[in-house]
Amino acid sequence: MQEEEVIAGKHSVTEALRSGRTINKIWIADNAQKHLIMPIVAEARKLGIVIQNVDKRKLDQLVPGVQHQGVVAQAAPHAYVEVDDILKIAEDKGEAPFLLILDEIEDPHNLGSILRTADCTGAHGVILPKRRSAQITATVSKTSAGAVEYVPVARVTNLAQTIEQLKEMGVWVVGTVVDATEDIYDTNVFNGPVAIVIGNESKGMGRLIREKCDVLVKLPMNGQINSLNASVAAGVVMYEVLRRRHLQG
């Protein structure tokens, strides 16, 4: 496991500070916009975190390709959780479990966007496979606008086995596929304990994972392009779960 993690951008660093994550050091670019970084600097000073002013090129090297807005932090590694921890969060809130299972989502931008929407819709957590999947990185954190600090993420060795365990606990596992017969507006499985499976960006869900699902649903399509970006599709389904639960509430 890596000894430290680099997070970048105003939202990511701000939420990491707010959530109580251990931050060892913050680098600020000499040309950073004062109104963006002043609240971060003030909070960091209060917490006794080392702040270093550096040339912008140093930050570009630390997080290549990430829009860092002149602020980068060195933090303790992202704390992944266990699946049981996610179920416990739902139980403590007195809510039916609402989970996302990501079957080999590879694009860190998609993972970041999914985490951001998961936070907005009240999902209790996200499950990823340890292999062939994007993991939490600076790009994911930046894309999630800091939601990685609040949405519990579990990494599992065997996704199919995890699905079986969830089913034994009474969680309905709902797969999203383009060729399902039932669409998300017709199904009635979203009100209770539910885990939504989102497949890989190009291949979709793996055959074994598809077979493990209790129900397969699709998003209705009226246009010429019969597919959505994985994070957009996940967002539509998450908001439908939220809508159903509001109606129940």
On whether the 83-248 domain is CATH 3.40.1280.10, my answer is: yes
The answer on pLDDT for 237 being more than 70 is yes
pLDDT for 35: 87
- Give residue-wise pLDDT tens across range 30-78: 988 888 899 999 999 999 999 999 999 999 999 998 899 999 999 988 8
Confidence category of residue 242, pLDDT binned at 50, 70, 90: very high
The model's pLDDT over 85-124, given as tens digits with 9 standing for 90+, comes to 999 999 999 999 999 999 999 999 999 999 999 999 999 9
Task: Check if 5-75 and 83-248 are the same fold.
Answer: no
In the numeric block, which tokens belong to residue 221? Answer: 């399509």
Q: What is the pTM of this model?
A: 0.87
pLDDT of residue 160: 97
Task: Indicate if the pLDDT at residue 222 is higher than 90.
Answer: no
Please state, as a whole number, how many other Cβ atoms lie within 10 Å of the Cβ of residue 76. Answer: 13
Estimate to the nearest angstrom the gap between the alpha carbon of 82 and the chain centroid. Answer: 15
User: What is 5-75's CATH topology?
Assistant: 60s Ribosomal Protein L30; Chain: A; (3.30.1330)
pLDDT at 220: 87
pLDDT in tens, 133-177: 999 988 899 899 889 999 999 999 999 999 999 999 999 999 999
Pairing verdict, β 50-54 and 98-102: unpaired
pLDDT at 226: 61
Beta pairing class for 71-75 and 5-8 = antiparallel
Q: For the chain, give every domain's residue range.
A: 5-75, 83-248
CB distance 117 to 48 below 8 Å: no
